[in-house]
A and B are shown apart, each in its own frame.
Chain A
């Protein structure tokens, strides 16, 4: 079965600083990977997805993620954090039957 591990349940950055949220995957088949964001009292919203077309994937709100097969990683980055980026971020991998298996989530705090 496919799975993902998110390193760090909480990440705190200053406004304007680099955001780096870590995700490692385990998959017996070529993985399809996703990052979602959840704002307080909201559902999950897709940030970006990797579907093997390109290893560097650009998403919404200035986020991007790079697929590294050798490291089994799919880390999420943003060059400059904004206060509005404060939310919980989930990495997910697609399992058989196109169901998504989610990581535990990382809460991003942005300090002014």
Chain B
């Protein structure tokens, strides 16, 4: 299996622009997670889906952030409009929906820089 695939790996955009990050989970995994990593705040869970349904989006920082999972093999995280403080590494992870003892598998991340 190719693992969790994220694109792009790097994104540089200007403040105010729309940014879309993409994720393809591991085939057969029912849970998908979006995390954000910064020096100041560490790893934060933004939102997660079970069976394509958003379960908990309490970590989404503002209405500028939105996430979708239209099918089991694709998810997007959109920031509109982007701001410099959104600069971070965004990780997507997936896991089988088998309970709390199941680990998550992470993608390589997307490094976002908003200038």
List the interface of chain A (C-beta within 8 A of B): 32, 34, 36, 42-46, 49, 51-52, 90, 94-105
Contact assessment for A43 and B101 in the assembled complex, using a CB-CB cutoff below 8 Å: no
| Known contacts A98-B31, A99-B48, A99-B56, A44 near B101 by CB under 8 Å | no
**Interchain CA distance A52-B24 in the complex, whole Å:** 31
Number of A-B pairs, beta carbon distance below 8 Å:
55
Task: Select which of B4, B50, B93, B107 is within 8 A of A97 by beta carbon.
Answer: B50
Contact assessment for A102 and B91 in the assembled complex, using a CB-CB cutoff below 8 Å: no
**Quick one: which of B43, B98, B102, B109 has the most chain A CB within 10 A?**
B43
List the interface of chain B (C-beta within 8 A of A): 4, 31, 33, 42-43, 45, 48, 50, 55-56, 91, 93, 95, 97-109
Residues of A within 8 A of B31 (CB): 98
**Interchain CA distance A21-B69 in the complex, whole Å:** 37
| Known contacts A32-B100, A102-B42, A105-B43, A43 near B109 by CB under 8 Å | yes
User: A48 to nearest B CB, angstroms?
Assistant: 9
Contact assessment for A98 and B97 in the assembled complex, using a CB-CB cutoff below 8 Å: yes
**Interchain CA distance A11-B33 in the complex, whole Å:** 29
Which residue on chain B has the smallest CB distance to residue A103? B42
Contact assessment for A43 and B91 in the assembled complex, using a CB-CB cutoff below 8 Å: yes
Which residue on chain A has the smallest CB distance to residue B92? A43
Residues of B within 8 A of A98 (CB): 31, 95, 97-100, 102
